[in-house]
Amino acid sequence: MHGTKEIIEEATALPIESRTAVVDSLLRSLNMPDPEIDRAWLDVAKRRLAEIRSGHVAPVPGDQVFAKVRERFAQ
């Protein structure tokens, strides 16, 4: 049986798609999906997408968001 270090080394050697699948599987084993919560998040995502498509909300580039966060917490 492999130790933690060996498992991590093998996992990091995998292609990105495979590493993503490993991470997703491990996270799901720690926090089992809840269909009710997933449905609620799906509703939020659909509503936000509709707001963007309708023009009621303008998307903000991630670099601007992170710059504001850094600025706020630098004080």
Q: Where are the domains of the chain?
A: 1-32, 35-74
Distance CA 34, CA 28 (A): 10
What pLDDT does residue 17 have?
A: 96
pLDDT digits (tens, 9 = 90+) for 3-51: 999 999 999 999 999 999 999 999 989 988 899 999 999 999 999 999 9
What pLDDT does residue 46 have?
A: 98
**Whole-structure pTM value:** 0.53
